[in-house]
Amino acid sequence: MTRVAFIGLGNMGGGMAANQAKAGREVMAFDLSPAALDKAAAAGCSRAGSVAEAVRTADAVVTMLPAGPHVRQVYAEHILPHAPKTALLIDSSTIDVESARAVAAQAKAAGFRFADAPVSGGTAAADAGTLAFMVGCDEGDFAAVEAMIAPMSRATMRAGDHGAGQAAKICNNMVLGISMIGVCEAFALAEKLGLDGERFFEIASKSSGQCWSLTNYCPWPGPVPAAPSNRNYEGGFATAMMLKDLKLAQEAAARAGAATPLGATAEGLYALFDRLGGGGKDFSAILEMLRGNAP
Ligand code: NAD
């Protein structure tokens, strides 16, 4: 039986680990939070007392941790010294490209195969096993990474070498953050001009304003029933998470010397919305701030 060590069982990792167990794999799970560990155990995973214990006999290790410093520390102190060299190491956290490349270099130097494989899709997709994975790894390792990820994925795409998965993730989310603000500004203007929101949606969705933020995730309640705007912007993709990804994009742009003025503006607007109390709301709720309403 394939043995998977799963480290980080939070909002995303909990469902992802459960899907590995559902696929018949032996999952050794660890999280610093006892409550997260209890939930994973109830979903068919085995409890490990530490990262070292979880990875000791693993065929693959999947990490789903908050940010770059957590990933650097867990790999350097707990995974690389204790996992068998044959284990395939996959980090699915969203972290900075530099940290992903640094961890990959350390893992490679220690004789491991490593992939950065951040995900697109929120907690519902994590629970359903329908995340999209953007992978940075050696070409020859991709088939093994894809097979290991399969129970958690609806699409697994290789972006390039180490760090390319994280690069694809932050570039994609920068498009998303910018396009959502554009759509929200258009709804706020349409309203001031006396144009009915639903009518504007019908027209723009069949015109050149059409984009994912409008037609799949419409911030105006009504036209797209599955969108968080119909649930008072609860659930979905939290503003605080979008802000984290936009910050990563800005840090990467500064380091690489890329001009991303709209990305910088989007980061500023989401930071403002976060400070006004919107951090826990879905990121499409920024419509309310742009309409002049409190979050
Ligand atoms: P979360 O905070 O719910 O979960 C992170 C878990 O890691 C926590 O349970 C925490 O206890 C655990 N942890 C932290 N340090 C640890 C350590 N040293 N050892 C073991 N466990 C440790 O976060 P999340 O929402 O599950 O997100 C995880 C990652 O996925 C983040 O990088 C996030 O940006 C990314 N992501 C999240 C979403 C989303 O919608 N929530 C979507 C796509 C990507």
Domains and CATH numbers, the chain: 3-162 (3.40.50.720), 167-290 (1.10.1040.10)
Q: Which of 7, 9, 12, 131 for mutating ligand 1's site (highest number of atoms within 8 Å of CB)?
A: 12
* pLDDT computed for residue 59 by the predictor: 98
- Mutate-to-test residue for ligand 1 from 65, 119, 120, 248, highest number of ligand atoms within 8 A of CB: 65
Write down the pTM of the prediction.
0.94
Q: What is the pLDDT of residues 223-245, one digit of tens each?
A: 999 999 999 999 889 999 999 99
Q: What does the DSSP assignment read for 159-220? A: EESTTHHHHHHHHHHHHHHHHHHHHHHHHHHHHHTT--HHHHHHHHTTSTT--HHHHTS-SS
Predicted pLDDT at 122:
82
* Inter-residue contact 174 to 246 (CB < 8 Å): yes
Residue 56, ligand 1, Cβ within 6 A: no
**Residue 18 in tokens:** 């459960």
Q: Which of 22, 39, 169, 247 is catalytic?
A: 169
Cβ of 2 less than 6 Å from ligand 1: no
247 part of the active site: no
Q: Collect the ranges in the chain with pLDDT lower than 70.
A: none
